[in-house]
Structure 1
C-alpha cells in the first residue's frame, strides 16, 4: 500500500524519532492549571427506557444535536452512546458550569424527540446491539478485539464512563510533580472504580460485578488495556509500552483497513511492512491504547463508570480534581493509597490485571481496604474543595455521596441491586443546580 493512499500520512518515521516523539508528547509538564471531563451517556426512550431506540431514531437525534452551539465537543460512540468532551477549563467550577450548560441544551433537544440520557457504566436494559457506526476504524477495531474474546465488542457497544482529564504536573518532584501524579492516578484508580461502580448488569442481565464496565476492560487485550510499570520513570516506560504494543490496524484508503497479526509498532517501524509507518500512524496508534490512565500530554483517567442522575458526574470530577490539584490533598491522598501497591499480584503486574482492580469491580466498597481508602480520600477532597473554589452545592453533593455511599461501604451499583432499580432523568426533570 503506497503512502499516497493514506490521508495526512507524512513521510516515513524512524524508530528513534518515534521514541523521541513519545517522550515529548505524552507528558507535557508545567503547573497544573486546567481540568476537563469527557462524559458518555446512553440514549433511551424518555417514557419507556426499556424500549430499544432504533438506529434511524438515534441518527436523527444526533443530527439535531450536532447543529447546537455547544462549547463541548459532541461525538458518537460505536454503540450509539453520546459523548460530550469539555474544553480545557481554568478551574473546576468553570468546567462544571460549561458542561452543565451544554448538557441542559442537549437534554432539551432530546426531550423534544422523546429521548433521554441515562448515566450507567453499562446499558441497564438493552440486550446486545448492533454497532451503529460502520466505519473502517471500528470495523478494524472489532476484528482485532474479537481475537481475544467478546469483551471488546461489549466495550465498544455497551459501556459509558466519566473520564477526568488533568494536567500532567510539574517537571520537578513533589506532590504535583508529573511522576508522582502518574503513580497516584494508578494507585487511586481502584478506589475510584469501587466508589463509583455503577454497572451491575451487562446486556440487561446481572453480571455478578458492581462494575461490569471495568470487568470488560480487564478482559481486553492483555497489553493494550493495561499500564506499564508505574514504579519506573514515566516517559521512557510509556514510550517503550507504546512501541511494544501490537498495532491494531494499518490504515488504508476507502477500503477495509489491514488488521495484522501480532505486529508491534516497533516491528512496523523497523520493517516498513506492509508499508512504511508515519507520524500520523503513531498518533493514531496512541488512540487505540486503552489503559486506565492514558497520557495524552495531560492525564486521562478512564476508570470511572458513568454516574446516575443529571449531575452525578460532578462528584467524581470534583473529588478527583481536588485530590490531584490541591497540593495538601495530593500529598495526603498519596500517603493513603501508597500501601495499595503492595496488594498487586506481583511487582511487575499491570494494574488492571491484578487482584485489586478486579476486586474493586466485583466488590465495590464492601472491600474493607478500598472502603478505608475511599473514606479517607473523600474526607481529604471535602477539605480541599473550598480551597479549589467549589460552590456550596458541589460540596453538598460530595458530602451527600460520602454519607450515602462511602461511609456505609456502598456504591451506586448497590442502589440498583437493592432494590433493582436505576435512576433515569429526562429533559425538564427538576434537579439541583450545582453551579450556584
Structure 2
C-alpha cells in the first residue's frame, strides 16, 4: 500500500466481528514490559527570525540524507546516528522517534545523541528547535501536501479551527511503553493524564498571543471531534474497548487511486464494515484508520502516551522518567491518580492552578522522585529531574 494508491489485498474483512478480531490481534502485546521509547516533536524556526514562515526547501537542504519522503526525498531517509528515525509533520515540525530501548539510561543516551546531532544539522542551516508545545509565534500553516493531510484538514475543518492548529502548530512528547500483562497499566496510563498534563503544561502562548491556557496544545486536541481525540473508555477488556472506539470513530480519509482521499462525511469504520462504501475493507484499511485516531493513550502493540507537551532543551527526560517510573507500580499510580482521572479540560485550561490537579500531581511526582534511584539514571540526570520538579508552579499561579 503506497501513500498515493489503494491496493486491495487478497484478505477482505467482511463483518464487524472480523474487524474487531483484527484490531484485538494487533493492539496489545502480551508478556512482561521490557521495552520503552520516546518520540520528541518540535516546532521549527529561523534562528534569527523565529516568526518567519518555514520554507520547505530550506528544511530539505538542512536534513539532507535524513529528509523524509513526505518532504520530497526520492528515497527513504537514513536513520539518525543513534538509531532514531526522523519525520516531518504537516506544519514543518520535526520529530525523532527513538529505537526501542531496554532501560531509561539507554533511552536517554540514544535520544540525547540523536537530538544533539539534529540540533547541529539544523543549526548549520540557520534553524532551531522550538521549546514549547505550541508555536508561540506563527499561525498554523501547512507546508506538506499529501492526500492524507489534505483529507485530514478537510475532515477537521468541519468542526472548527482546532484541527489545523493541531496539525501545523503543536509539538508533543510521546512515551511508548509495553502494555504488560497487568491491565492496570492501561488504566493507570490514562488516569495519569490530567495531572501530568497539568504538571508539564508548556504551551500557553500561540501565534503571538497569550491564550490564557496552561496547555493550548492539549486544548486544541480536546476541542476536536471527541470520537477521534478523547480517551478510550477504561474497562476490564482494553482490547474490546479500543475496537469499539475504532469502529465508532468517523473515517478521516479513505485511500484510493488519485489525489483525493476525502472520506464521506459522517461515515464510520463500522459503516464501512457493513458495506457503506463500494470498496472491500482490508486489514490495511483498518490499520490506516487506526493511525488516524488520536486518543491520549493509543494502543499500537505498545502503549503510546500522547498527552504531554514538548519540553524545553534536554528536559524531555523529566516526564519520560516520571511516567516510566510510575507505571512500574501501576496499582499505586492508579490509586493516587484516580481522584482527577477525568479532569482533562481543567488540566489544559488551568494546569497546576487547579487545586485538585495540583494535589494529585504533587503526590505522583513526589513518589516518582523517591523512586529515581532505581532507574539507573546517573546522579546528574536524577538531580536534573528533581530540580525541574521543584521549580514547577506549586503555588498554583499560572
Normalised TM-score (structure 2): 0.92
Q: Is there any run of 5+ residues in structure 1 with no aligned partner, and where?
A: 171-176, 345-355, 415-436
Out of 66, 76, 80, the position equivalent to 2:92 is 80
Helix, strand or coil at the partner of 1:223: helix
Out of 123, 131, 135, the position equivalent to 2:146 is 135
- In 1: Cα distance, 2:393 partner to 2:136 partner: 23
Out of 220, 226, 230, the position equivalent to 1:222 is 226
Is 1:363 the counterpart of 2:363? The answer is no
Per-residue CA deviations over 1:202-222 (Å, capped at 9, x if unaligned) read: 222221201000110111012
Q: Which residue of 2 aligns with 1:379?
A: 366
Q: Which residue of 2 aligns with 1:148?
A: 159
1:193-204, aligned counterparts within 5 Å?
193-204=197-208
1:80-229, aligned counterparts within 5 Å?
80-129=92-141, 131-170=142-181, 177=182, 179-229=183-233
What is the Cα deviation at residue 9 of structure 1? Answer: 3.9
- In 1: Cα distance, 2:35 partner to 2:139 partner: 39
Instruction: Tell me: CA distance 1:227–1:14, structure 2 relative to 1, closer, same or farther (3 Å).
Output: farther
- In 1: Cα distance, 2:147 partner to 2:376 partner: 44
- In 1: Cα distance, 2:218 partner to 2:375 partner: 30
Helix, strand or coil at the partner of 2:285: helix
Helix, strand or coil at the partner of 2:42: strand
Q: Which residue of 1 aligns with 2:376?
A: 389
Contact kept in structure 1, 2:38 and 2:174, CA below 8 Å: yes
- In 1: Cα distance, 2:314 partner to 2:242 partner: 34
Is 1:405 the counterpart of 2:386? The answer is no
Helix, strand or coil at the partner of 1:294: strand
Contact kept in structure 2, 1:375 and 1:402, CA below 8 Å: no
RMSD: 1.8
Q: Is there any run of 5+ residues in structure 2 with no aligned partner, and where?
A: 68-76
What is the Cα deviation at residue 31 of structure 1? Answer: 0.6
Contact kept in structure 2, 1:9 and 1:281, CA below 8 Å: no
- In 1: Cα distance, 2:127 partner to 2:53 partner: 11
Is 1:29 the counterpart of 2:37? The answer is no
- In 2: Cα distance, 1:144 partner to 1:405 partner: 37
Per-residue CA deviations over 1:362-406 (Å, capped at 9, x if unaligned) read: 111111111111111111111222112121122111111121105
Contact kept in structure 1, 2:194 and 2:340, CA below 8 Å: no
What is the Cα deviation at residue 33 of structure 1? Answer: 0.8
What is the Cα deviation at residue 99 of structure 1? Answer: 0.7
Helix, strand or coil at the partner of 2:391: helix
- In 1: Cα distance, 2:266 partner to 2:311 partner: 36
Is 1:324 the counterpart of 2:327? The answer is yes
- In 2: Cα distance, 1:64 partner to 1:280 partner: 29
- In 2: Cα distance, 1:22 partner to 1:406 partner: 41
Out of 239, 256, 260, the position equivalent to 1:256 is 260
Is 1:334 the counterpart of 2:334? The answer is yes
Instruction: Tell me: CA distance 1:258–1:363, structure 2 relative to 1, closer, same or farther (3 Å).
Output: closer
Normalised TM-score (structure 1): 0.84
Mean CA deviation greater in 217-226 or 397-406: 397-406
Helix, strand or coil at the partner of 2:227: coil
Per-residue CA deviations over 1:280-338 (Å, capped at 9, x if unaligned) read: 10000000001011011111111100111x2011111111111112x3xx332222112
Q: Which residue of 2 aligns with 1:38?
A: 39
